[in-house]
């Protein structure tokens, strides 16, 4: 009997283990450390597929894409324009960011905070 049968794993988890590393899972020489690594990997992957974590990863990737886009736009404009033109671009970009920040703080955040409570109010 090999180590895989001694572990508290379901048949699906055994199949995943055999598919991911057949040598470590099917031989009698498998060690407890191999099983520990597999269980830790299984827990980590299980954590990453939860709906809240998937949403968090999507937000993180989205933020990364937007930040890289802004950075490369600044690099391209900085390389193709003079210092004065690049300064005007950065000034305009700063004004846009400040306007977005005002909109977020004055409209979006209060709406997100108070909109769930609006459902609880009776209709007039």
pLDDT tens digits, 36-94: 666 777 776 666 666 666 667 778 888 999 999 999 999 999 999 999 999 999 999 99
Residues 87 and 121 in one domain: yes
Identify whether residues 69 and 88 lie together within a single domain: no
Shared-domain flag, residues 93 and 103: yes
Its pTM stands at 0.46
Domain co-membership, 57 together with 44: no
67-104 per-residue burial string, b: 16 or more CB within 10 A, e: under 16 = eeeeeeeeeeeeeeeeeeeeeeeeeeeeeeeeeeeeee
Residues 94 and 66 in one domain: no
Least confident span in 27-41, 77-91, 103-117: 27-41
**Residue 44 and residue 7 in one domain:** yes
Give the pLDDT band of residue 96 (cuts 50, 70, 90).
very high
Based on the structure, what is the number of domains in the chain?
3
Six-digit token pair at 31? 């060690």
Q: Which domain holds residue 69?
A: 50-80
């Amino acid at each position: 009997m090999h180590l895989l049968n001694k572990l508290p794993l379901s048949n699906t988890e055994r199949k995943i283990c055999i598919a991911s590393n057949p040598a470590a899972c099917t031989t009698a020489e498998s060690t407890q450390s191999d099983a520990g690594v597999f269980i830790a990997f299984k827990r980590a992957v299980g954590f990453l597929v939860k709906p809240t974590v998937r949403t968090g990863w999507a937000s993180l990737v989205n933020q990364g894409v937007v930040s890289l886009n802004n950075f490369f736009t600044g690099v391209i404009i900085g390389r193709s324009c003079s210092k004065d033109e690049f300064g005007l671009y950065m000034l305009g970009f700063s004004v846009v960011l400040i306007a977005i920040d005002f909109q977020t703080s004055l409209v979006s955040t209060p709406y997100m905070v108070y909109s769930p409570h609006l459902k609880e109010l009776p209709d007039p």
